[in-house]
Amino acid sequence: MLILILFIVCLNYNEQKNMPLPFKKLTIEYLNETKSIYDFIDFEIYTNISMGTPKKNVAHFIYKSNRQFYYNYFKLPHPTNEYLDKIEKQIENSLDICYNIYNSSTFKKVDASSNLYSDIFHFYDLKQTEKNFELTFLVYDTKKNINLTGIIDLDTEESSYGSFGIFIFKTLKKAGVINDSYITFIYGDYDLNYNFNYLNDNYSEILGTLILGDSPHIFAPDKYKEEEEIKIYGRYILDIKEIKFTSHSFNFSEINKLVELKFNSEFIKGTLQYKNIIDSMKLYLKILLKGVKFSLLRFF
């Protein structure tokens, strides 16, 4: 009997606990038929999580900026003006991805003086098995008819708030949703036969899947090996020995650069040194063209 109990305990201890979150992109240009370049340079990514009773798909925007696990107004980055505020409201209404605390019968007050509340969350694991958990979170505005969206912040340092902060990883571990704090982004393969498929303006398409919990070599050992793992402790930075850029006009290189990886942009931002060289070339070409124009005027 003792052996059987120990075997069951081991099974529970080794049970994989992961939370896959398919995500999409969103910007203030959502309703525009033709997108500008700013739609690709800097955008929001969000995942829909089913929560409350009855179930409601609620947008949770994904960041890495040391934010707590809280719910606030639907907000997209844009210059403050009345026209864009109306567009933002139209986007909110068209998507129907907000959470209203008064529409859920399982919404509870945990400690209203500390803005702490809870509700039922309906997660799906990697095998698409539904698992329900009650999670605690922050809500700063509990007035009626307020539509809210959630924040999932991938920063694991939790330095600004100490042990009193309500952070997503701490909350998920406490509820038994996950065991570990690995962050994995999985994207589809790049299609070389489809030109410019990296500039994606299809807001209904899943860009990728964020998996919180175990390391990739645990949940997908056939694809990822433990000995190939490089731990960077939540820092999306690559240490590049040399970067080269070659064109017909000039050759440029930099050595020993730290390259930050951003999951909310589809462009690569150059260094200040590279910018200065490009600006110098533009100035040189401008002066050269002025000289050619002056010479042509004298000729005629």
The type of residue at 212 is L
Do the bridges between strand 251-260 and strand 19-26 make them parallel or antiparallel, or are there none, so unpaired? unpaired
The type of residue at 88 is E
| 13 located within any domain | no
Residue where a domain terminates, one of 173, 200, 224: 224
| 185 located within any domain | yes
Same domain, 178 and 259: no
pLDDT single digits (tens) 59-105: 999 998 888 999 999 999 888 889 999 999 999 999 999 999 999 99
Residue 155: per-residue pLDDT: 83
State which residues form the domain around 40. 18-224
pLDDT single digits (tens) 173-224: 999 999 998 899 998 776 656 555 556 678 888 989 999 999 999 999 999 9
Question: Stretch 30-39: mean pLDDT, rounded?
Answer: 89
Q: Could you tell me which of 206, 267, 270 has the C-alpha nearest to residue 42?
A: 267
- Distances, alpha carbon 217 to alpha carbons 176, 180, 222, 230, 299, in Å: 21, 13, 8, 12, 72
The type of residue at 211 is I
Query: Please, what sign has the CA dihedral across residues 39, 42, 47, 53?
Result: negative
- Answer yes or no: is pLDDT of 11 > 70: no
| 130 located within any domain | yes
| 165 located within any domain | yes
| 92 located within any domain | yes
Q: Can you give the CATH number for the domain in which 147 is found? A: 2.40.70
Chain-centroid distance of CA 226 in Å reads 25
| 61 located within any domain | yes
> pTM of the full predicted structure?
0.82
Residue where a domain terminates, one of 202, 224, 246: 224
| 106 located within any domain | yes
Tokens found for residue 265:
């942009």
Same domain, 53 and 178: yes
pLDDT single digits (tens) 141-170: 888 788 999 999 998 766 666 566 899 999
- Answer yes or no: is pLDDT of 225 > 80: yes
Residue where a domain terminates, one of 224, 253, 288: 224
Q: Which helix (H) or strand (E) holds 110?
A: strand 108-111
Same domain, 55 and 143: yes
Q: Which residues make beta-bridge pairs with 117? A: 109, 137
Same domain, 63 and 195: yes
Query: Please, what sign has the CA dihedral across residues 161, 166, 167, 171?
Result: positive
Domain count of the fold of the chain: 2
| 123 located within any domain | yes
